[in-house]
Amino acid sequence: MISTALDNFAAPPSAKLLGWHLIDAKPKEGWIKVGFDGKAEFCNPAGFVQGGLLSAMLDDTMGPAVMVMTEGRLYTTTISLTVNFLVPAKPGPITAEAKVTQLGKTIAFVEGRLMAADGTVLATASVSARLIEATKAIR
3 in any annotated domain: no
Which pLDDT score, from 0 to 100, does residue 139 have?
Answer: 63
Which pLDDT score, from 0 to 100, does residue 77 have?
Answer: 95
Coil, strand, or helix at residue 56? helix
Which pLDDT score, from 0 to 100, does residue 114 have?
Answer: 98
92 in any annotated domain: yes
- Residue 119 is which amino acid? G
70 in any annotated domain: yes
The CATH number given to whatever domain includes residue 133 is 3.10.129.10
105 in any annotated domain: yes
Region 65-87: mean pLDDT is 96
5 in any annotated domain: no
Q: How confident is the model at residue 3 (pLDDT cuts 50, 70, 90)?
A: confident
Which pLDDT score, from 0 to 100, does residue 138 have?
Answer: 73
Region 82-103: mean pLDDT is 98
Which pLDDT score, from 0 to 100, does residue 1 have?
Answer: 61
- Structural domains of the chain, count: 1
pLDDT digits (tens, 9 = 90+) for 24-37: 999 999 999 999 99
| Residue range of the domain that includes 39 | 14-137
2 in any annotated domain: no
Which pLDDT score, from 0 to 100, does residue 5 have?
Answer: 83
pLDDT of 95 > 70? The answer is yes
4 in any annotated domain: no
50 in any annotated domain: yes
